[in-house]
Amino acid sequence: MTAARTVRARSAGRPTLEEVAARAGVGRGTVSRVINGSPRVSEETRAAVEAAVAELGYVPNRAARALAANRTDAIALVVPEPEARFFAEPYFSDIVRGVGAALADTEMQLLLTLVGGDRERRRLAQYLASHRVDGVLLVSVHADDPLPELLEQLGIPVVISGRRSEDEPLASVDSDNFEGARAAVAHLVAGGRRTIATITGPLDVYGARRRLDGYRAALADAGLDELAAHADFTEEGGRRAMAELLARAPGLDAVFAASDVMASGARQVLRDHGRRIPEDTALIGFDDSSIARHMDPPLTSVRQPIEEMGRAMAELLLAEISATTPTRPSLVLPTELVVRASS
């Protein structure tokens, strides 16, 4: 196969616009117009060009197009690598799936960019700035991250996943954390639970705050008292928080954990204390990850429409890219309570 590779090295004889034009008996400009779907081409000419394209198996050269048109037809999905939480189920693959679905009928390419430490993060801004992408999808953005604003200043369309505050200035797609938490706790109340605790995520994360707010709202509706322990979305944190809650309120009969992973940690502690789930203590998580489905008993959990969020992010970004003036829309998608045996 050495021969083939050699051929590849010198541009493999792939047809160019020029050759298509010659074949169709028209000029370069006309072929370009047909390729790009311009309406200012007569029907016969269009047909002739399309025939030539098909005969020669012509595919436009992206690099040439990018250079001439000053756009790349590519967007970047920027993933913070150290962020273990994002890489865990179900986020990453579902987001990618959704983005891919939205891009499937498009000419857009998806560039995956993993950013590690600060050094790479610095390079990234420069990298993205030099017009290598038409837009950027940012997931798992922290409140104090300068990157989104930097990109905005550079005029690069950005869509982020998850708002960072109530009035997010950037285009964003979020799930309804408040309502998801409220529904979960309301379900516990409806099940006759009266001492309902929560294990929160880190409260500098807006989504974690909203889940706490939802918990509080449901308790207020039922006239019940709040019982919260703070953790950090990890299993170990869930264990510690659960132990703390049991010490503070041995009579609790339900726990709403702001993530499945924390719920898993809580379950271990409940077991160690000889508490049956759901008989003695009901347990609900958040994320509806595979952990929830395979936990024993299967965990009731709040499902976020991650794949749809990915799709929506991509669609918003495409809209922002083609818009003449940025609109920065904020989309909030509904969550869904998936009831299983744990509650």
Partner DNA sequence: TACTACTGTGGGAGCGCTCCCAGCCGTGAT
Partner DNA sequence: ATCACGGCTGGGAGCGCTCCCACAGTAGTA
Residue for token digits 């006239």?
A: 223
Structure tokens at 194: 């009266």
116 binds DNA (CB under 7 A): no
Q: Which is nearer to a second copy, 126 or 204 (CB)?
A: 126
Which of a second copy, DNA, none is residue 32 near (CB under 5 to 8 Å by kind)?
A: DNA
CB of 106 to a second copy, least distance (A): 12
322 contact, one of DNA, a second copy, none, CB 5-8 Å limit per kind: none
Q: How far is the CB of 46 from DNA (least distance, A)?
A: 7
CA atoms within 13 A on the CB side of 165: 7
Q: Which residue bears the tokens 């299993």?
A: 235
Minimum separation from the CB atom of position 249 to a second copy (A): 26
Residue 36 interacting with DNA (CB under 7 A):
yes
Contact call for residue 72 and a second copy (CB under 8 A): yes
**By the rule CB under 7 A, 17 interacts with DNA:** yes
Looking at 19, 100, 217, 336, which residue binds a second copy (CB under 8 A)? 100
**Among 131, 127, 132, 167, residue whose Cα is nearest residue 147:** 127
| 33, interface contact from DNA, a second copy, none, CB < 5-8 Å by kind | DNA
Q: CB atoms < 10 A from the CB of 322, how many?
A: 10
Is residue 258 within 8 A of residue 201, CB to CB? The reply is: yes
Q: Is 319 in the site for a second copy (CB under 8 A)?
A: no
d(CA 201, CA 130): 37
- Sign of the dihedral through C-alpha 77, 81, 82, 88: positive
Specify the residue, 202 or 326, whose C-beta has the smaller distance to a second copy.
326
Among DNA, a second copy, none, partner that 17 touches (CB below 5 to 8 angstroms by kind): DNA
| Rounded-to-integer distance, Cα 302 and Cα 287, Å | 6
Least Cβ distance, residue 322 to DNA (angstroms): 13
Q: Is 224 in the site for a second copy (CB under 8 A)?
A: no
Q: Name residues contacting DNA, limited to 242-271 (CB under 7 A).
A: none
Other Cβ atoms within 10 Å of 254 Cβ, number: 25
Residue 288 neighbours by CB distance under 10 Å:
25
Measured CA to CA, the distance from residue 259 to residue 106 in angstroms comes to 35
> Which one of 27-35, 186-194, 206-214, 276-284 is the stretch in contact with DNA (CB under 7 A)?
27-35
For 3-25, the three-class secondary structure string (H helix, E strand, C coil) is HHHHHHHCCCCCCCHHHHHHHHC
Spatial neighbors of 269 by CB under 8 A, at least 6 apart, are: 238, 239, 242, 243, 246
**Which of the listed partners (a second copy, DNA, none) does 5 bind, with a CB threshold of 5 to 8 Å by partner kind?**
a second copy
Residues lying near DNA in the complex (CB under 7 A) are found at: 11, 14, 16-18, 25-30, 32-33, 35-36, 39-42, 44-46, 58, 60-61, 64-65, 67-70
